[in-house]
Structure 1
Amino acid sequence: MCSKHYLKALVEQQKKGVPRGIYSACSANEYVIEAVMERALKDNEYILIEATANQVNQFGGYTGMKPADFRDFVYSLARKVNFPVDKIILGGDHLGPLTWKNEPAASAMQKSQELIKQYVMAGFNKIHIDTSMNLADDPQNCQIDTAVIAERGAMLCKESEIAFAKLQAVNPRAVHPVYIVGSEVPIPGGSQEAEEGLHITKALDFENTVAAFKEAFQLHGLANAWNNVIGVVVQPGVEFGDETIHEYSRSAAQELTQALKKYPGIIFEGHSTDYQTPQALKEMVEDGIAILKVGPALTFAMREGLFALRHMEAELFRYRPEIEQSQFIEVLDSFMVRNPENWRMHYYGDSAKIRYARKYSFSDRCRYYVPVPEVKDSINRLVMNLSSVDIPLTLINQFMPIQYNKIRSGLLKKDPENLLKDRIINCIDDYMYATKL
């Protein structure tokens, strides 16, 4: 079954009352992606891996990767762990002028069209079109009109359709993209302040969004493309901040989720579902929020795993001065202090609170620093040091008790990389519980 058919079949099952879903792993971290693949291998499942516009774009984004580079990166990891490439759904997240929102509409949209073209030409076949943000020459003191959002969205969809036609000409087996639209898109990576209000999308606003996008698509000659719109991003009442989590309440979202039943080919896509409980995630899927986006929670789990491994390293090599220790926790924080651009607009309070947030915030701004050479070298040394010894079960039980139990049951090897990926799988398990029958 091709990836497009998989997602459309998921929608069909949802509309028949079968609570199936899929989680979307929004990450460019190799440990996270390998964990996603290894967990899916156990159940012979498809995986959905997404790159965001500020992470991967035609200029390289903060990862330094263009869309084709990200595709090749993911496929290389698939070969490494023997995961079938035909079960990978690649998605583009927040494709639109997000990265260029401080520019006038003409230049921001021109760059957005090139962005979506490169994603589609690279074989990404699940496309989230996000034109919800005010641009430099839009009125700045009010929400941008839904009709303008839809018009810009249709422009990007048209570019996507043109790009796919070119791709199909050279690759007849290429899978046509499906589209996700919507005007109430949570801030990528979580809210910036705990005090920010959270408003569930009104049912009427959702219906007006669908109507506006459908009309804009028709005006741009995209009636056939509209048949590939399978989801709408709404705010169902989930979000997180530094130390806060807005829990899903199905009763509070009931008006919105009931309105979804009027639309036979559409499901909801939930963003910022990180840190929700397994039961809340399951209720979201049951209520039609069939695509669950998760990103920071996965790298937060990875950071927890790395911290645990660092504590083990410190205990094992405390009295062995000939061994150069990784000093991972210190290296990471030192680099973040010297390069604050990826966290200073997100963490607030006195110096002690900010120092704490740099390590432990749910927003997990650490993830922006893990790929840099200085921090990456520290991780490599940490893994190398722990790979050189037989890690005592006592230490594993102290710092990674869930992994200890898996080792005792013969389900997990106790080398550092497997321990680290399994800590990420702890988070993935919550999503598997929610999305599988």
Structure 2
Amino acid sequence: MGHILQEIAAANRAGEGVGIYSCCSANEYVLHAALKKAREHRTYVLIESTANQVDQFGGYIGMTPEQFYAYVLGLARELDVPSSQVILGGDHLGPLTFAEKPEAEAMALARELVRRYVLAGFTKIHIDTSMKVGDDDAHLRLPDEVIARRGAELCAVAEAAYTQRRAQDPDAVAPVYVVGSEVPIPGGAQEAEEGIAVTEPSDLDHTLHAFRDAFLSRGLEDAWERVVAVVVQPGVEFGSDSVFDYSRSSAAKITGALHRYDRLVLEGHSTDYQTRYALREMVEDGVAILKVGPALTFAVREGLFALECIERELFSDTEAPLSGFRAVLEAAMLRDDKYWRKHYHGTESQQKYDRAFSLSDRARYYLTDGEVRSSIRRLMDRLGSRPIPYSLLSQYLPRQAERVRTTALENEPNALLEDHVGDVIEDYLYATLRH
């Protein structure tokens, strides 16, 4: 039995203009919205966790691969989404979070990371060994051959883990692989002025030839046939307050090079904040896998700010304290600045603005903070105690207001927030589903 991503890639290669978006978030509101859209459209949903979110030590969200897999499928069950519609993937799997260690130690940890992901049931594996490790020369470019050798080493571990999993579950689907990496590192450009260079076809050639040679030298011919995509930079990115929009003509040199390779499609990272029409063009041009993350949690933050404005209007004259969500979030970010300090610059007022409104949405790292979660709970409990008047909904969440009026949406804060996130997802479904 083949993997659905192989089918999607084949259809895209055949000119059918289809693809799939990848939900790169562990946020509960985002996951609810993504799963509900899969149920509504009766389509697949691809959910990916990154190597720093989820690893064998728990990652920054405090979950191992096994726990995250169970968590997502548990949510799917609650929402009546068949597990057969849910694809889980691992993003940037490699020595990313262990890169300060020497190669032997970093790669040993990366091997265990990949092994755990595949054993848990993740079937889309992005192997990323593009980063230097502790004993690489900091002054020299990391050769493609070294990147590919390390990548093949991780693929061999993934294949062995799949063999082990299939012994327990004969119906287990073989993993598919994505190779290559984009520049800059995950999460968006730090400065809009850096500019975005489209991947050169010659670089794509070197990457794929190096990986093919490395895979075959390890006897991974079958695994190489399951490499479905390569990560490129098609010229899309976002900074703190700007978006580099997709240009079909600028990207043509890399999208036009795709015909040289059998079965492969392109995977685009940092597609956040692109218009639905740009996303559609990307899919038509062979960028069949669209990764999105910060734009989804940006919508969560946006929706929570809107709900807090409604709360203030409705309950400011009551004795019980308000949720104070925005102030609590700001306090959490000031209390521990490790997730935003390297990203936000300028004056104190500019940094404060960015903490709230930056497109890079570093605030997403703080939504699991205990005090922030408590403030969200207070906000939702308060707003759930009475229907929100249409006039207030129209002011702060106008799309949701119209849906409430037509009874397409429940006038309940959690439903309103998830629906707001769903509007972002709809752009990706417009771009990827068959028209």
TM over 0.5: yes
Q: Secondary structure at the match of 2:266?
A: strand
TM-fit CA distance, 1:409: 2.0
TM-fit CA distance, 1:197: 2.9
1:395 paired residue number:
392
Structure 1 CA distance for aligned equivalents of residues 45 and 301 of structure 2: 22
Structure 1 CA distance for aligned equivalents of residues 365 and 3 of structure 2: 34
Structure 2 CA distance for aligned equivalents of residues 6 and 185 of structure 1: 28
Structure 1 CA distance for aligned equivalents of residues 313 and 47 of structure 2: 36
1:263-278 mapped onto 2 (5 Å cutoff): 263-278=261-276
Structure 2 CA distance for aligned equivalents of residues 204 and 409 of structure 1: 54
Indicate the larger mover: 275-284 or 182-191: 182-191
TM-fit CA distance, 1:185: 4.7
Amino acid at match of 1:15: R
Structure 2 CA distance for aligned equivalents of residues 54 and 310 of structure 1: 30
Any idea what the Cα deviations from partners look like across 1:78-123, whole Å, max 9, x if unmatched? 1221111111000000000111111111111110000000000000
1:33 paired residue number:
31
Q: 2:91 aligns with which of 77, 90, 93?
A: 93
Q: 1:257 aligns with which of 255, 259, 262?
A: 255
1:68 paired residue number:
66
Q: 1:355 aligns with which of 339, 343, 352?
A: 352
2:112 paired residue number:
114
Amino acid at match of 1:402: R
TM-fit CA distance, 1:369: 0.4
Q: Secondary structure at the match of 1:403?
A: helix
2:6 paired residue number:
8
Tell me if 1:337 matches 2:334.
yes
Percent of residue pairs bearing the same amino acid type: 51
Q: 2:77 aligns with which of 54, 79, 87?
A: 79
Tell me if 1:150 matches 2:148.
yes
Q: 1:308 aligns with which of 306, 309, 316?
A: 306
Amino acid at match of 2:399: I
TM-fit CA distance, 1:40: 1.5
Contact 1:186 1:271 in 2 (8 A): no
Amino acid at match of 1:297: A
Contact 2:332 2:369 in 1 (8 A): no
Q: 1:384 aligns with which of 359, 371, 381?
A: 381
Provide structure 1 residue ranges, at least 5 long, that are not aligned to the other structure: none
Contact 1:132 1:184 in 2 (8 A): no
Structure 1 CA distance for aligned equivalents of residues 105 and 220 of structure 2: 23
Q: 1:226 aligns with which of 216, 224, 227?
A: 224
Q: Classify 1:143/1:184 alpha carbon distance in 2 versus 1 (closer, same or farther; 3 Å).
A: farther
Q: 2:205 aligns with which of 204, 207, 224?
A: 207
Q: Secondary structure at the match of 2:248?
A: coil
Structure 2 CA distance for aligned equivalents of residues 186 and 234 of structure 1: 11
Q: Secondary structure at the match of 1:346?
A: coil
Any idea what the Cα deviations from partners look like across 1:218-253, whole Å, max 9, x if unmatched? 111111110100000011101111011111111011
Provide structure 2 residue ranges, at least 5 long, that are not aligned to the other structure: none
Contact 1:391 1:414 in 2 (8 A): yes
Structure 2 CA distance for aligned equivalents of residues 207 and 245 of structure 1: 28
Any idea what the Cα deviations from partners look like across 1:46-72, whole Å, max 9, x if unmatched? 100000000000010000000000001
Q: Classify 1:153/1:287 alpha carbon distance in 2 versus 1 (closer, same or farther; 3 Å).
A: same
Q: Secondary structure at the match of 1:307?
A: helix
TM-fit CA distance, 1:183: 4.0
Amino acid at match of 1:199: A
Contact 1:56 1:62 in 2 (8 A): yes
1:281-300 mapped onto 2 (5 Å cutoff): 281-300=279-298
Structure 2 CA distance for aligned equivalents of residues 161 and 185 of structure 1: 28
1:131 paired residue number:
129
Structure 2 CA distance for aligned equivalents of residues 393 and 423 of structure 1: 16
Contact 1:185 1:233 in 2 (8 A): no
Amino acid at match of 1:233: V
The alignment yields a C-alpha RMSD, in angstroms, of 1.0
1:422 paired residue number:
419
TM-fit CA distance, 1:312: 0.6
TM-fit CA distance, 1:189: 1.0
Q: Secondary structure at the match of 1:342?
A: coil
Structure 2 CA distance for aligned equivalents of residues 148 and 193 of structure 1: 29
Contact 1:279 1:434 in 2 (8 A): yes
TM-fit CA distance, 1:141: 2.5
TM-fit CA distance, 1:195: 2.1
Q: Secondary structure at the match of 1:51?
A: strand
Structure 2 CA distance for aligned equivalents of residues 174 and 224 of structure 1: 16
TM-fit CA distance, 1:12: 1.0
Contact 1:302 1:424 in 2 (8 A): yes
Runs of 4+ in 1 over 6 A off after TM superposition: none
Amino acid at match of 2:236: V
Q: TM-score under structure 2 normalisation?
A: 0.98
Contact 2:3 2:173 in 1 (8 A): no
Q: Classify 1:26/1:183 alpha carbon distance in 2 versus 1 (closer, same or farther; 3 Å).
A: closer
Contact 1:14 1:20 in 2 (8 A): yes
Contact 1:78 1:84 in 2 (8 A): yes
Q: 2:366 aligns with which of 362, 366, 369?
A: 369
Q: TM-score under structure 1 normalisation?
A: 0.98
Contact 1:121 1:164 in 2 (8 A): yes
Structure 1 CA distance for aligned equivalents of residues 110 and 222 of structure 2: 22
Structure 2 CA distance for aligned equivalents of residues 225 and 93 of structure 1: 18
2:53 paired residue number:
55
Any idea what the Cα deviations from partners look like across 1:271-323, whole Å, max 9, x if unmatched? 000000111100000000000000000000010000000111111111111x2
